[in-house]
Chain A
């Protein structure tokens, strides 16, 4: 059984097989050669893993993000945030953090944030005297906030995989996301002041209102989504559908930026990305079912209980594991592979599943920009036309800031749980 569920999947993973084939092959081998069960279980599980209304939020939020990231939404957000923080040292850097945070609340995609925010902010920061590698590292790393601030696609996947409430996860993500944004802004302000770069320009009230007016429709998306969910108006899935409709109306009729063919193109792109993700969910559901039937998570729990590991030791070990995994694997695949194994241990140690979900998401968010293989690095390299080595150098200080935030959020669960209770009334 270890051969089918451990050695074969790891080998196929290392040999670059598609993740869904890795999971499917391990499952098929286990069912065919080691288990006395009818093989129709494969079909039933491949179907059953996706047969969940909660997962509809995945294509819907991706579609809403696709629509909003085309056109001038990011420019409008940048102008608004800049008018708010213009008086601070390193105001353009703080604007980048603020825009990535708001953009994350609209699109939930980190790579989209690198593209949209990077295109606008990198030339502006270069013109304002920011060291090029510093601004590139900033854009590459701060965009990872997008998957911590709700709506977050990795959180939906985690919620489905761990049977955790998605509204609770969303509510729990807000405060850690904001803490991260504050820590990053503080670091940027410190660097701008000590390095004597970046100009500060105190904004006028008229300017703030003017930019607010231009960005109001874009800012309406997170208000409708989060307000709708926590006001009890609709479920997270319905909120995602409403976000799509809202994005469609704003980009097509209000900003008049997207033609019908551009909307269809956005829908086609969404199909592509959605299929990449959902196919792994289907295979991971089968894999998780086989793990459960063979009581592997339970055995892992018993083994960890024997070792008398405390919750904080477990969380520390998981942080190290996830930081390493995050360097090599995309967050969604990592969540789907590891959650079924880790959740029984999390439960047995009395760790809150929602808190663990935030810790997991934050770890994997860091992996998005950790050298050498973080996906954001390659997106930034393509958008900013910079050398990889310069981006590597630029992200390192931000990696340390994220790491500090991770330790704080991991070992002070009150931060996530307080935020969750605050937004859930």
Chain B
């Protein structure tokens, strides 16, 4: 009983950490979006008022959008909010749904980790030769690195979710762990008992 309480406490800490991380990341990306808007609007004003435009503004805004897309995908992964077609799977019995979820998470974990791994040679080469973007001189490797970094996190989340479902818990991580999912508490109580 003691070990299961301990395991539960560790899992809770991990979940709280991931959830706080996802929320903080989403808020940070929100601030970045506001900064992108400010930069684009400033560029319009600057063109008409000061008769000069920031040549690097569009490029930096696009890089920020790329970061927003990939890092935002981590938040979507954590909240199970990726766009998908769930019509057929929702018709399956709950036992079959559980195995489909396990299969989905396994494929996501392996595929994302594999794609991230395949990106490394390109990024290390860009870093080694000091490749920089045309307009802003931004290090190209850095913006490219956002993609494998995010994919590794998505793979990690999928692996965690897979373990969670295999252990008999609900696949969705609780967005607010002050209100832990009933299923998890129920399962723990059942095991502890």
- Whether B62 and A279, one on each chain, are in contact in the complex, defined by CB atoms closer than 8 angstroms, is no
User: Is B182 an interface residue when CB atoms closer than 8 A count as contact?
Assistant: no
- Distance (Å) between the CB of A271 and the closest chain B CB? 4
- A43-B144 contact given A14-B88, A16-B89, CB 8 Å threshold: yes
- Whether A238 and B115, one on each chain, are in contact in the complex, defined by CB atoms closer than 8 angstroms, is no
- The CA of A17 and the CA of B122, in the complex, are separated in Å by 28
Q: Determine, out of A50-58, A153-161, A165-173, the stretch whose residues face the partner at the interface.
A: A50-58
Give every chain B residue within 8 A of A268 (Cβ-Cβ): 26-27, 29-30
Q: Report how many residues on chain A are interfacial, defined by Cβ distance under 8 Å.
A: 60
- Chain B at the A interface: mostly helix, strand, loop or mixed? helix
- The CA of A47 and the CA of B65, in the complex, are separated in Å by 11
Give every chain A residue within 8 A of B104 (Cβ-Cβ): 15-17, 21
- Whether A47 and B72, one on each chain, are in contact in the complex, defined by CB atoms closer than 8 angstroms, is no
- Whether B69 and A238, one on each chain, are in contact in the complex, defined by CB atoms closer than 8 angstroms, is no
Give every chain B residue within 8 A of A52 (Cβ-Cβ): 62
- The CA of A275 and the CA of B100, in the complex, are separated in Å by 24
User: Is B76 an interface residue when CB atoms closer than 8 A count as contact?
Assistant: yes
What are the interface flags for A14-25 relative to B under an 8 Å C-beta threshold, 1 for contact and 0 otherwise? Answer: 111111110011
User: Is B84 an interface residue when CB atoms closer than 8 A count as contact?
Assistant: yes
Q: Determine, out of B8-16, B40-48, B162-170, the stretch whose residues face the partner at the interface.
A: B40-48
User: Is B7 an interface residue when CB atoms closer than 8 A count as contact?
Assistant: no
User: Is A274 an interface residue when CB atoms closer than 8 A count as contact?
Assistant: yes
- Whether B111 and A25, one on each chain, are in contact in the complex, defined by CB atoms closer than 8 angstroms, is yes
- The CA of A358 and the CA of B158, in the complex, are separated in Å by 38
A7-35 residues with Cβ-Cβ distance < 8 A to B are 12-21, 24-25, 28
- Distance (Å) between the CB of B34 and the closest chain A CB? 5
Give the contacting residue for B37; candidates A53, A60, A373; CB below 8 A: A60
- With both beta carbons as reference points, the residue of chain A lying nearest to B26 in the complex is identified as A268
- The CA of A306 and the CA of B72, in the complex, are separated in Å by 45
Give the contacting residue for B122; candidates A43, A263, A329; CB below 8 A: A43
Give every chain B residue within 8 A of A40 (Cβ-Cβ): 118-119, 121-122
Count: A-B pairs, CB below 8 Å: 183
- Whether B83 and A330, one on each chain, are in contact in the complex, defined by CB atoms closer than 8 angstroms, is yes
- Whether B44 and A279, one on each chain, are in contact in the complex, defined by CB atoms closer than 8 angstroms, is no
- The CA of A346 and the CA of B76, in the complex, are separated in Å by 35
User: Is B5 an interface residue when CB atoms closer than 8 A count as contact?
Assistant: no
B33-88 residues with Cβ-Cβ distance < 8 A to A are 33-34, 36-38, 40-41, 43-44, 58, 61-62, 65-66, 68-73, 75-76, 79, 81-88
- A53-B62 contact given A39-B118, A59-B68, CB 8 Å threshold: yes
User: Is A237 an interface residue when CB atoms closer than 8 A count as contact?
Assistant: yes
Give every chain A residue within 8 A of B111 (Cβ-Cβ): 21, 24-25, 28
User: Is A264 an interface residue when CB atoms closer than 8 A count as contact?
Assistant: yes
- Whether A282 and B69, one on each chain, are in contact in the complex, defined by CB atoms closer than 8 angstroms, is yes
B141-161 residues with Cβ-Cβ distance < 8 A to A are 143-144, 147-148
Give the contacting residue for B88; candidates A16, A44, A248, A275; CB below 8 A: A16
Q: Determine, out of A94-102, A239-247, A416-424, the stretch whose residues face the partner at the interface.
A: A239-247
What are the interface flags for A243-274 relative to B under an 8 Å C-beta threshold, 1 for contact and 0 otherwise? Answer: 01100100000000000000111011011101
User: Is A63 an interface residue when CB atoms closer than 8 A count as contact?
Assistant: yes
- The CA of A52 and the CA of B63, in the complex, are separated in Å by 9
Q: Which residues of B approach A to under 8 Å, CB–CB?
A: 26-27, 29-31, 33-34, 36-38, 40-41, 43-44, 58, 61-62, 65-66, 68-73, 75-76, 79, 81-90, 100, 103-104, 107-108, 111, 114-115, 118-119, 121-123, 143-144, 147-148
5 smallest CB-CB distances across A and B, nearest first, come from A275-B72, A267-B30, A18-B82, A278-B69, A241-B40
